[in-house]
């Protein structure tokens, strides 16, 4: 295929698509040029289904090449290593709108690789890669029910803007990424500065209008150069096994779904599933492989019955597995100060979901250093989320966070970051850690609730408390009926069609995240879900505020205390000293105090003890202090000469006390009136053009009376 180019003017910037020249052996490959951003997206699929798996093996990657922003990678090897957090989050963001658009039963392995070759920070490489990923699949021979596209939406001075520039985003109160098809939205990521539900809905719909244009452009390209789709054999269970399992176990499994307690419900369904699997295993098979496949299908059929019953109960009878109303939240419990030595701690429980959150305060030089393609080079606030296997009663891998944990942590971080004080108001690096103790639905939102209380116990002056809730959706494509659920539990999430997480304060939304398994969500469903989430959020906030109503005024005794001061930027070198000698001396003399100095002369001093902070502050003040004519000091004699004495005024600043300026009376020898170590009051009388300081003790002494004055007296 010869090289082909396609062009679109999109929101004031040009998009150019190139195909047929680069990566021609991939099933689909496109170069996307958006401003000066250039990405390569490729799609490949295996010819046969991956054997022995019961899921769709789709892999999406976002490859950050640091040469794209003119950087050489850090580290010993000086080459790109494991994906950055930004790359992981972007890969997830591209995966989520693409995955629902493959046919049910698709088991062939699909790999979509997005490589960033050049970055124009004002032309989003993330959105270019999402567009390219969809288009690479669409023009390939891989069956895919796209296209999809995504846009970023900001709001500057009340006006919605698609794919805003970096400068515009600094002024924006909405940071929204939305993706979907021409018909409906199917992925949302958002942060916002307490924006109302109505305004957020308007931003979502604005984003969808832009997506329609991008999808139409892709469809034009597919007509021009798209390949004919290959035939894929979709996985389906054996009808004989299906009939036999349903005849013997369907009624019992449907009844077990209505058991209210999670572990009892899961235990009963597991037992019935094991019985069904054993029944099928006892039949005769030509090989052990055939037997294993049949047993696996029996278990899959049982899961399907369970899913059907959960969905039927909710859509038809408006009955949830645990008996709640569709807008009812599970029992709430909030606690604080569980851990005496940490800077802040809280425990939040919602039903069978429980999160322990801790807050740690550190110096600003504890900021996380960022090495990726974004303009951000460090991060002051970190929200880390951990999901150990014991929280769901299982064994499993412990270690570095996976994609899911990174994604949930980023969502919580985005929700809480909107209400944090500025650096000037609270000059600390802040880290919250959410450890999930128990999980049955939306532990990420529980981590936001626990995180808010943890921050308040640590004395972080947040602007307003934040709570989060997860909404669900069960939809019948045939009838069009649907039910929006408040506070979904694990079973409703697993068998449902939507996981829509909403976090915010009483005044508005601070974060959104939506994933769906259907092709898209309409405006009416969004509206209903946001309204139910608002009601639930206020109820959760009431429970949290009954436990802790506002941020503590005092920090933990174990948290570092601070003092701030400003010095002349020209004096920074004096405070640091040659090779760091001076600042290291201050640190050593002040019990390893932490000191941050900005280029503008702002100095922040950290230590657990206020007296130590004051000592360090005084030492810095002495270094940067400048003597002025007229200033008076209690000076220490540090050197004696025939012509006078050198006295230390402060720090490393000395002045010359000439012999004639010691007293009103004649002094023959300096040693007659002064010795080393004496303290004498002096006044600065002159500073010459070389900075040399002359002082006088005589100027502070009363003049002796003349003979005439004595006589008169």
**Tokens (6 digits) for 496:** 């449902």
**Is position 493 annotated in a ligand binding site?**
yes
DSSP bridge pairs for 484: 473
Give the 3-state secondary structure of residue 109: strand
Report the C-alpha gap between 560 and 430 in whole angstroms: 12
Whether 134 contacts 127, CB under 8 Å: no
Report the C-alpha gap between 90 and 407 in whole angstroms: 10
Report the C-alpha gap between 61 and 493 in whole angstroms: 25
Q: Could you give phi then psi for residue 386, rounded to 5 degrees?
A: -125, 135
Which burial class, exposed, middle or buried, applies to 665 when counting CB atoms under 10 A from its CB (0-12, 13-18, 19+)?
A: exposed
Whether 217 contacts 14, CB under 8 Å: no
Those residues whose C-beta lies under 8 Å from the C-beta of residue 274, and which sit 6 or more positions away, are: none
User: What's the half-sphere exposure (Cβ side, CA atoms, 13 Å) at 112?
Assistant: 29
Report the C-alpha gap between 447 and 353 in whole angstroms: 10
Report the C-alpha gap between 368 and 86 in whole angstroms: 13
**Tokens (6 digits) for 76:** 């010993």
The residue assigned the tokens 């090495």 is 371
**Tokens (6 digits) for 97:** 């709108």
Report the C-alpha gap between 293 and 277 in whole angstroms: 11
Neighbours of 566 (CB within 10 A): 11
SS (H, E, C) 178-247: EEECCCCEEEEEEEEEEECHHHHHHHHHHHHHHHHHHHHHHHHHHHHHCCCCCCCCCCCCCHHHHHHHHH
DSSP states of 615-655: HHHHHHHHHH----TT-EEEEEEEEEETTEEEEEEETTEEE
Q: Could you give phi then psi for residue 702, rounded to 5 degrees?
A: -65, 140
Report the C-alpha gap between 181 and 146 in whole angstroms: 7
Angstrom CA distances, 444 to 97, 233, 449, 512, stand at: 20, 37, 9, 12
Whether 181 contacts 519, CB under 8 Å: yes
Q: Which helix (H) or strand (E) holds 10?
A: strand 4-10
**Is position 175 annotated in a ligand binding site?**
no
Whether 175 contacts 511, CB under 8 Å: no
Report the C-alpha gap between 366 and 368 in whole angstroms: 6
Report the C-alpha gap between 208 and 180 in whole angstroms: 7
Terminal Cα-to-Cα distance of the chain (whole angstroms): 118
Report the C-alpha gap between 62 and 638 in whole angstroms: 66
**Tokens (6 digits) for 399:** 């270690």
User: What's the half-sphere exposure (Cβ side, CA atoms, 13 Å) at 33?
Assistant: 10
Cβ density class 276-289: b for 16+ within 10 Å, e for less: bbebbeeeeeeeee
* Gyration radius of the chain's alpha carbons: 35
Binding-site annotation: residue ranges: 493, 499
Binding-site annotation: residue ranges for Mg(2+): 493, 499
């Amino acid at each position: 295929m010869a090289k082909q180019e396609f062009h679109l003017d999109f929101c004031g910037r040009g998009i150019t698509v190139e195909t047929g020249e680069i990566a021609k052996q991939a099933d689909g490959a496109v170069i996307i040029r958006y401003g000066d951003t250039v990405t390569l997206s490729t799609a490949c699929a295996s010819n046969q289904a991956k054997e022995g798996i019961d899921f769709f093996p789709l892999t999406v990657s976002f490859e950050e090449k640091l040469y794209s922003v003119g950087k050489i990678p850090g580290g010993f090897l000086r080459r790109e290593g494991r994906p950055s957090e930004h790359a992981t989050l972007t890969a997830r963001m591209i995966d989520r709108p693409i995955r629902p658009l493959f046919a049910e039963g698709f088991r062939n392995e699909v790999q979509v690789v997005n490589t960033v070759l050049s970055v124009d920070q004002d032309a989003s490489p993330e959105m270019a890669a999402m567009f390219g990923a969809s288009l690479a699949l669409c023009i390939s021979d891989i069956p895919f029910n796209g296209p999809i596209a995504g846009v970023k939406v900001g709001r500057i001075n009340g006006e919605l803007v698609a794919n805003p520039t970096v400068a515009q985003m600094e002024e924006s109160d909405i940071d929204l990424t939305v993706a979907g098809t021409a018909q409906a939205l199917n992925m949302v990521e958002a942060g916002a500065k307490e924006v109302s539900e109505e305004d957020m809905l308007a931003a979502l719909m604005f984003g969808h209008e832009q997506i329609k244009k991008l999808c139409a452009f892709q469809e034009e390209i597919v007509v021009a150069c798209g390949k004919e789709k290959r035939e894929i054999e979709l996985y389906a269970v054996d009808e004989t096994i299906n009939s036999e399992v349903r005849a013997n176990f369907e009624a019992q499994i449907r009844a077990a779904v209505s058991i209210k307690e999670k572990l009892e419900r899961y235990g009963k369904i597991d037992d019935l599933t094991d019985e069904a699997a054993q029944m099928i295993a006892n039949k005769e098979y030509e090989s052990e492989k055939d037997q294993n496949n049949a047993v696996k299908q029996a278990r899959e059929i049982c899961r399907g019955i369970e899913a059907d019953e959960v969905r039927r109960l909710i859509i038809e009878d408006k009955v949830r597995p645990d008996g709640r109303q569709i807008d009812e939240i599970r029992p709430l419990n909030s606690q604080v100060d569980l851990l005496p030595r940490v800077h802040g701690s809280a425990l939040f429980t919602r039903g069978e979901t429980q999160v322990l959150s801790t807050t740690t305060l550190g110096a600003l030089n504890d900021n996380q250093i960022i090495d990726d393609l974004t303009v951000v080079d460090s991060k002051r606030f970190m929200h880390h989320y951990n999901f150990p296997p014991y929280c769901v009663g299982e064994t499993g891998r412990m270690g570095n966070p996976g994609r899911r944990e990174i994604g949930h942590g980023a969502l919580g971080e985005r929700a809480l970051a909107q209400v944090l004080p500025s650096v000037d108001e609270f000059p600390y690096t802040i880290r919250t850690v959410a450890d999930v103790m128990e999980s049955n639905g939306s532990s990420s939102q529980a981590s936001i609730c626990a995180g808010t209380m943890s921050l308040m116990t640590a004395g972080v002056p947040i602007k307003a408390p934040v709570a989060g809730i997860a909404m669900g959706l069960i939809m019948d494509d045939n009838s069009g009926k649907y039910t929006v659920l408040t506070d979904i539990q694990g079973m409703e999430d697993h068998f449902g069609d939507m996981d829509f997480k909403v976090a915010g304060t009483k005044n508005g939304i601070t974060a959104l995240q939506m994933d769906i398994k259907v092709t898209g969500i309409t405006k009416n469903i969004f509206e209903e879900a946001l309204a139910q989430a608002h009601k639930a959020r206020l109820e959760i906030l009431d429970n949290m505020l009954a436990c802790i109503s506002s941020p503590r005024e005092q920090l933990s005794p174990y948290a570092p205390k601070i003092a701030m001061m400003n010095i002349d930027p020209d004096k920074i070198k004096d405070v640091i000293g040659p090779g760091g000698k001076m600042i290291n001396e201050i640190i050593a003399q002040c019990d390893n105090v932490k000191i941050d100095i900005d280029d503008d002369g702002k100095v922040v001093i950290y230590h657990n003890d206020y007296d130590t902070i004051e000592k360090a502050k005084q030492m810095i003040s002495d270094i940067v202090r400048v003597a002025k004519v007229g200033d008076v000091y209690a000076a220490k004699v540090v050197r004696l000469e025939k012509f006078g004495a050198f006295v230390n005024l402060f720090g490393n600043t000395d002045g010359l006390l000439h012999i004639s300026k010691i007293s009103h009376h004649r002094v023959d020898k300096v040693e007659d009136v002064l010795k080393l170590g004496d303290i004498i009051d002096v006044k600065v009388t002159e500073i010459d053009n070389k900075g040399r300081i002359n002082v006088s003790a005589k100027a502070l002494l009363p003049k002796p009376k003349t003979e005439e004055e004595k006589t008169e007296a």
